[in-house]
Each structure stands twice: as C-alpha cells, then as structure tokens.
Amino acid sequence: MFVAHLPAGYLLSKYFESKSKRKKISWRLFLTFGLIGSILPDLDLLYFYLIDGHQHQHHSYWTHIPIYWVFLYTFFASVFILKKNKHMLFITTFIFIDVMLHIILDTVAGGIMWSYPINTQYFSFFSVLPQYNWWVLNFIFHWTFLFEVVIIIFAFIIFKASEIKTSNTLNTLNSEA
C-alpha cells in the first residue's frame, strides 16, 4: 500500500462509529486515534530516511513486524484491564486494529514478515517488479494501485456523505431554535 493508509483508517473509524454503542466517546477523538493508528507503522520512515540512509528495506523495521504490535497491544491492554479503564482499553484496541489494517494492506504488494521470529521470509499477495528507475512509479503503475484508488474514492464518498449529514443536522437544529 502506498497512499491509502489514511483513507482506509478513516473508513474503518467510520465503520466502528456506525456500529458502536459507546456514545460517551468523542468521535473526533476516536477518529484521530484511528488515523494515527492507520499510519503508525510508517513512523519507521523517519528512521529510514534520516538515520539509516536506506540501508534496509523499510518493512524490515519492527514497526512493520506484526508480532511486536501483538506484544505491545497485549501489554497495554493488560494494564488497562487491571486498572479497569475501559475507555483506554477501547482506544488501545482500536489503534491496534488500525495498525494491523495498515500491515495487512502493506501485504498486498509489499513484503511483511508475518511468521517472524520463526521465519524472516517476507510475504506479499502480489509482487511489484522493478521496471522504472524511480521506485515510486513501480507501485503507481502496478495494477494493485487501483485497489488504493478505490479505497481513496470510497473514503471520499463516505466523507462527503457524512459532511452532508452533519450539515443537514445542523440546519435542522438551527431551524428548530
């Protein structure tokens, strides 16, 4: 996945918003956590570009290895369960789900070490072969990029529909006042 992580995180957040019975949560805050979770694994790009000097494949860093996120989630979830903090447990769980969505989406055309530490083999559904000098073009001109385009368009449609619904609700409230 190249550019659709945020739109996919937005779609997941909107889905959970529509299904949730938790009305005490600020959905703007929830959406913010969802969007952060959807790009959290790509924080390794800072290290990749600023420190590592492109020495390793960006999906080889711990932020793209699922088992590390499972351990982090288990730790924080356990803390919040022990403290009986259901609100933070809910947010932590949602961030974890968004992180895993990111990693699953990266598995479409990028390699992920799903069986690490047993095996360091990268797994991907489809291979993007290098055909262009600039690596970005290899992903943009690969047919799997259409999957990203669909996610972006769908997220835009849901966003606009949500915006229209909010605007109509505000207009109704204003006319009643």
CA dist 45 and 54 (Å) reads 9
| 167 inside domain | no
pLDDT in tens, the chain (177 residues): 779 999 999 999 988 887 776 666 677 887 899 999 999 999 988 888 788 777 778 788 999 999 999 999 999 999 999 999 998 998 899 999 999 999 999 999 889 999 999 999 999 999 888 899 998 898 899 999 999 999 999 999 999 998 777 666 555 655 665
For residue 177, the model assigns a pLDDT of 55
For residue 110, the model assigns a pLDDT of 87
For residue 123, the model assigns a pLDDT of 94
For residue 153, the model assigns a pLDDT of 97
| 32 inside domain | yes
| 24 inside domain | yes
Torsion of CA 140, 141, 144, 148, to 10 degrees: 30
| 168 inside domain | no
Q: Looking at the 3D structure of the chain, how many domains does it have?
A: 1
Q: What is the pTM of this model?
A: 0.86
Structural domain range at position 82? 5-127
For residue 172, the model assigns a pLDDT of 61
| 68 inside domain | yes
| 135 inside domain | no
| 63 inside domain | yes
CA dist 1 and 23 (Å) reads 32
| 160 inside domain | no
| Structure token pair of residue 156 | 């835009």
For residue 6, the model assigns a pLDDT of 95
Name the helix (H) or strand (E) containing 57.
none
**pLDDT per residue over 23-75, tens digit each?**
666 778 878 999 999 999 999 888 887 887 777 787 889 999 999 999 999 99
